[in-house]
Amino acid sequence: MRRALLSLGLLALVGAGAAWALTAPDPLPSDALDGIMGDAIRGATLFSAAGCASCHVAPDSEQTEAPVLAGGQRFLTQFGTFVAPNISPSPQGVGDWTDYDLVNAMARGVSPEGEHYYPAFPWNAYNKASLQDLTDIAAYIRTLPPSEVESQPHEVPFPFNIRRSLGGWKLLFESRDWVLTGDLTDQQERGRYLVESLAHCGECHTPRNALGGLRTGSWLAGARDPAGDGFNPNITPAGLQWSEGEIIAMLQSGFTPEYDVVGGEMAEVVTNTSRLPPEDQAAIAAYLKAVPPVESDAPEPGTGDSPAEE
pLDDT of residue 307: 39
pLDDT of residue 265: 80
* Per-domain boundaries in the chain: 40-173, 186-309
- Going from the C-alpha of 274 to that of each of 186, 278, 282, the distances in angstroms are 21, 9, 12
pLDDT of residue 260: 86
pLDDT of residue 238: 94
pLDDT of residue 309: 35
Q: DSSP states of 255-271 as a string?
A: B-TTS-B--HHHHHHHH
pLDDT of residue 59: 87
**What are φ and ψ of residue 214, in 5° steps?**
-70, 135
- pLDDT mean for each 10 residues of the chain (310 residues): 64 61 90 97 96 91 84 92 97 97 98 96 97 98 96 93 93 96 96 98 94 94 80 92 95 90 85 95 97 76 40
- Which of 303, 283, 162, 123 shows the shortest CA–CA distance to 231? 303
Burial class (CB in 10 A: 0-12, 13-18, 19+), 246: middle
- Which of 237, 228, 245 shows the shortest CA–CA distance to 301? 237
State the number of CA atoms in the 13 A half-sphere of 277 facing the CB.
9
pTM, two decimal places:
0.88
pLDDT of residue 135: 98
